[in-house]
């Protein structure tokens, strides 16, 4: 995949994709991936804001985003953005708020193309962490734990 930047972060590398008007995608890449300087004003801004977030979770993202997705996914992603830092909502709570099903909310979380900025890590299971990036175990959940702990600081 062609990235405008590959940004090293505490748990690996983020692949940043932008067009001329907005951030389109953030992918979690292995820590072995070679970092790449941002090329273009939008990817520079996205990287600067992400680095500030990793320094201080109170940072407010202002980079324009264009996640695409279905109308339902966009509704779920917008609701996730309203969850305050340091707080979580269960899939069921978000589903009740949106008059949707918990499974549909979970699918929208798994399809989120701009994690961290669209904070799908703040959506958890009723009795546990839930999944992250379409996975129920392994490294993705370690990233989710890291992000949640970071936002508690």
Q: What is the pTM of this model?
A: 0.92
Kind of pairing between the strands at 89-90 and 12-18? unpaired
Residue 132 has what pLDDT? 58
> If pLDDT is split at 50, 70 and 90, which confidence band does 13 have?
very high
**Of 104, 140, 143, 109, whose CA–CA distance to 124 is shortest?**
109
CB neighbour class for 98 (10 Å; exposed up to 12, middle 13-18, buried from 19): middle
pLDDT at residue 43 above 60? yes
Rounded Cα–Cα distance for residues 124 and 50 (Å): 22
Which pLDDT tens digit goes with each residue over 79-137?
999 999 999 999 999 999 999 999 999 999 999 999 999 999 999 988 776 755 665 65
Tell me: the pLDDT tens digits for 26-39?
999 999 999 999 99
Q: Which CATH class is domain 71-151?
A: mainly alpha
Cross-strand partners of 90: 124
| Separation of alpha carbons 30 and 45, rounded Å | 22
Question: Does the structure show a pLDDT above 90 at 3?
Answer: yes
On average, the pLDDT of the chain sits at: 92
Q: What ranges do the domains of the chain cover?
A: 5-55, 71-151
Q: Which residues are catalytic?
A: 120
Residue 69: pLDDT band with limits 50, 70, 90: very high
Please tell me whether residue 99 adopts helix, strand or coil conformation: coil
Q: How far is CA 18 from CA 47, 76, 113, 140, in A?
A: 11, 22, 12, 23
What backbone phi and psi angles, to 5 degrees, belong to 12? Answer: 150, -140
Count of Cβ atoms closer than 10 Å to residue 89 Cβ: 19
């Amino acid at each position: 995949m062609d990235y405008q930047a590959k940004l090293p972060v505490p748990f690996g590398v983020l692949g940043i994709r932008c067009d001329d008007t907005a951030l389109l995608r953030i992918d979690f890449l292995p820590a072995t991936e070679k970092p790449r300087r941002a090329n273009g004003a939008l990817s520079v801004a996205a990287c600067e804001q992400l680095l500030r977030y990793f320094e201080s979770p109170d940072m407010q993202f202002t980079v324009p985003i264009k996640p695409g997705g279905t109308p339902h996914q966009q509704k779920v992603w917008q609701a996730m953005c309203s969850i305050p830092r340091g707080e979580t909502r269960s899939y069921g709570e978000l589903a009740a708020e949106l008059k949707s099903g918990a499974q549909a909310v979970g699918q929208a979380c798994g399809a989120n193309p701009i994690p961290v900025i669209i904070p799908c890590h703040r959506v958890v299971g009723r009795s546990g962490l839930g999944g992250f990036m379409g996975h129920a175990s392994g490294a993705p959940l370690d990233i989710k734990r890291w992000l949640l702990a970071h936002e508690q600081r």
